[in-house]
Amino acid sequence: MNKKLILVTNDDGITAPGIRALVTEMQLLGEVVVVAPDSPQSGQGHAITLTEPIRLKKVDIFKGIEAYECTGTPVDCVKLAKNVILKDRTIDLCVSGINHGSNASINIIYSGTMSAAMEASIEGINSIGYSLLDFSYNADFSAAASYARRIAHEVLRNGMPESNLLNVNIPAVPMNEIKGIKVCRQAEGNWNETFQEGKDPRGQKYYWLTGEFDHKEHEEDTDLYALEHNYVSIVPSAHDLTNYKAIPELGKFEKL
């Protein structure tokens, strides 16, 4: 039987520990091809490169794995994988991550990790984005990687009939403290942002974005609740940003 073809990407860069952990687990499930940014691209969202050329370089980073580093964004990586590197092949699954830090709640909007997975899902490829709630470069990815493999295996075996994009977040606790998996909805939340002002060595003013995350709700069916209680959260996500509840009320505009 032919091996399943798994595309692996991320937004933290091709040398990040998280993608190495993910590649190791995906090797157990099929043939892996890696296309990832050559440098960190966190917070790039669904950005694509239009005004300058993108370069691809084949690299020998993962033993026995075909891998390419890309000068573009995470979404660029998926587009090039689909339309150039693997253009004559069927990609059975795209996995993105394992991200260093949460992509739960509103963070999915900003996330390069999830945008890469979303781009693949737009192309009709079953896709999963994985994030560990630990920003440290030296984070322990062992539990996150294990759950990444289990979830990917289930998708490869049985598909996702009602969805083709999953946002998976894993709490930063040891394996024996994770209580299991919860399939849930995206919680309401937002960032209360501020800009730190300073001056560079030449005396020029700069601004550095910072802020704190504001939990808007703690309902038991949300990803934030699941993570706070040491569950792995899975949110089936979609591309349609329509606010359907507002359509009847806004119908009044049609009479203007």
Contacts 24+ apart (CB under 8 A), 28-31: 28/149, 29/4, 29/149, 29/152, 29/153, 29/156, 30/3, 30/4, 30/5, 30/6, 30/92, 30/93, 30/156, 31/3, 31/4, 31/5, 31/6
Tell me the two tokens of residue 27: 């090797």
Helix (H) or strand (E) holding 190: strand 189-199
Q: Is beta strand 66-70 parallel, antiparallel or unpaired with respect to 56-59? A: antiparallel
CB-side exposure of 74: number of CA atoms within 13 Å? 33
Q: Rounded to whole angstroms, how far apart are CA atoms 237 and 114?
A: 10
11 labeled part of a ligand binding site: yes
Model pLDDT, residue 107? 85
- Stretches in the chain below the pLDDT threshold 70: 1
- Read off the DSSP letter of residue 29: T
The runs of H, that is alpha helices, within the chain are: 17-26, 74-80, 107-110, 112-122, 142-158, 223-228, 247-250
38 labeled part of a ligand binding site: no
Buried b (16+ CB within 10 A) or exposed e, 194-212: eeeeeeeeeeeeeeeeeee
12 labeled part of a ligand binding site: yes
Q: Rounded to whole angstroms, how far apart are CA atoms 86 and 7?
A: 9
Q: C-alpha angle with apex 57: 56 to 61, nearest 5 degrees?
A: 130
Model pLDDT, residue 1? 56
Domains of the chain: 5-255 (3.40.1210.10)
42 labeled part of a ligand binding site: yes
- Report the 10 Å Cβ neighbour count for 225: 19
